[in-house]
């Protein structure tokens, strides 16, 4: 199910040409919309983007043979080695974002993800790992700080580190795709990865893109956003990938501090200029939960946040409230934070 979708309006003025296509990447259906260029040129651009994502999936899959698999083996060995060009930028960005989030976003916990079974596209049928296994992995304390970066050279200082880019690789891939579209002269488009997206320009009618935010309980949508220019909207939710064991649901967003699925949040939606940061921040703020999301958002430079708590409360900052048009959340409690940007004029 898509967390976010395109909220299309009825009643249009003069339209530009619009091209839509769908393909599979990162285990997710990707929707690509291109506006304002001839159909044959749009189709050619779409094929290029699909090929880009196919290569990215091959390069960044932590459990399949490929560049990231090689990096994980070398990090475990403790030897110094040359980083593959396709992986190094993600490691650099991942380390920086992890530090900003105080480790709540931690791509180094691939072994924990593996232990829970969330490395599989379909985790159904899984069961919680034994507590002693989780305790052992926590004691090893893998983090992005355990990776030394010296130019093109890498070295792992903790054999427990296993990189998993699932929490932000999709965002980085979308950023690369949008930049490629821009280089091909495309000014109006959306790259939508199962509801996480980056939009540039405007719709075929000349209006802003309309984005609907689905309620995490599956009952309709919370509200809608208008996106124009160049912005990313990313959501992390406890319903995206999960399994049920003995009547209890376990979701895939693991708290690196406890080794268990994070508690307190049902979903977090972030708007940001780039998809990489938005993707990582949505995960970090979900882990931070209703009590600490504001502090972590400030540290990560995020200006628009909507956190839906497990009890249904809507936590948001004033800038997000000014942009979010609630459509079916009239009965929900809204908890407004102070501005994330200390300059009220910039909110």
Give the chain's radius of gyration (CA, Å): 20
- Asked if 168 and 280 count as a contact pair (C-beta separation under 8 A), the reply is yes
Q: Write down the pLDDT at residue 328.
A: 61
Polymer length of the chain: 347
Question: For residue 264, which of 234, 279, 285 has the smallest C-alpha distance?
Answer: 285
Q: Write down the pLDDT at residue 64.
A: 72
Residue spans of the chain under pLDDT 70: 1-14, 121, 328-331, 342-347
Q: Write down the pLDDT at residue 344.
A: 43
At residue 34, what are phi and psi to the nearest 5 degrees? -125, 135
Break the chain into its structural domains and give their ranges. 1-347
Convert 225-293 into a string of H (helix), E (strand) and C (coil). EEECEEEEEEEEECCCCEEEECCEEEECCECCCCCCECCCEEEEEEEECCHHHHHHHHHHHHHHCCCCH
Q: Write down the pLDDT at residue 270.
A: 98
- Asked if 261 and 253 count as a contact pair (C-beta separation under 8 A), the reply is yes
pLDDT tens per residue, range 37-80: 999 999 999 999 999 999 998 899 877 778 999 999 999 999 99
Q: Cα–Cα distances in Å, from 252 out to 68, 102, 166, 331?
A: 21, 20, 10, 29
Question: For residue 170, which of 42, 299, 282 has the smallest C-alpha distance?
Answer: 282
SS3 (DSSP) at 52: helix
Tokens of 106: 């931690």
- Asked if 101 and 203 count as a contact pair (C-beta separation under 8 A), the reply is no
Residue 276: how many other CB atoms lie within 10 Å: 26
CA–CA distance, 234 with 195 (Å, rounded to integer): 8
CA–CA distance, 180 with 19 (Å, rounded to integer): 17
Beta bridge partners of 335: 315
CATH T-level topology, domain 1-347: T-fold (3.10.520)
- Asked if 238 and 250 count as a contact pair (C-beta separation under 8 A), the reply is no
Question: For residue 237, which of 285, 202, 188 has the smallest C-alpha distance?
Answer: 285
CB within 8 A of 149, min separation 6: which ones?
A: 83, 91, 92, 95
Burial class (CB in 10 A: 0-12, 13-18, 19+), 308: buried
């Amino acid at each position: 199910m898509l967390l976010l979708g395109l909220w299309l309006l009825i009643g249009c003025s003069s339209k530009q040409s619009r091209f839509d296509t769908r393909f599979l990447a990162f285990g997710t259906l990707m929707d690509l919309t291109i506006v304002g260029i001839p159909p044959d040129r749009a189709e050619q651009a779409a094929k290029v983007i699909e090929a880009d994502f196919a290569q990215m999936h091959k390069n960044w899959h932590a459990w399949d043979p490929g560049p990231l698999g090689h990096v994980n083996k070398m990090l475990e060995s403790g030897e110094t080695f040359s980083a593959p060009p396709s992986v190094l930028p993600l490691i650099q960005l991942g380390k920086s974002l992890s530090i900003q989030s105080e480790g709540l976003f931690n791509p180094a916990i691939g072994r924990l993800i593996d232990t829970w079974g969330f490395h599989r596209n379909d985790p159904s049928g899984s069961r919680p790992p034994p507590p002693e296994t989780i305790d052992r992995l926590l004691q090893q304390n893998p983090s992005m700080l355990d990776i030394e970066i010296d130019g093109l050279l890498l070295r792992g200082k903790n054999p427990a580190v296993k990189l998993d880019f699932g929490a932000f690789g999709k965002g980085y891939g979308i950023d690369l795709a949008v930049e490629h579209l821009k280089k091909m002269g495309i000014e109006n488009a959306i790259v939508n990865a199962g509801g996480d997206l980056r939009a540039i320009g405007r719709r075929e009618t000349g209006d802003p893109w309309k984005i609907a935010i689905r309620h995490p309980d599956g009952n309709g949508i919370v509200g809608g956003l208008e996106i124009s220019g160049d912005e990313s909207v990313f959501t992390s939710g406890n319903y995206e990938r999960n399994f049920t064991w003995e009547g209890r649901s376990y979701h895939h967003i693991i708290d690196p501090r406890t080794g268990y699925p994070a508690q307190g949040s049902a979903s977090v939606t972030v708007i940001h200029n780039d998809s990489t940061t938005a993707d990582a921040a949505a995960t970090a703020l979900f882990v931070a939960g209703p009590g600490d999301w504001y502090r972590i958002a400030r540290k990560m430079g995020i200006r628009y946040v909507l956190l839906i708590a497990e009890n249904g409360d809507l936590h948001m900052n004033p800038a997000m409230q000014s942009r979010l048009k609630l459509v079916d959340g009239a009965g929900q409690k809204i908890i407004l934070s102070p501005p994330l940007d200390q300059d009220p004029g910039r909110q």
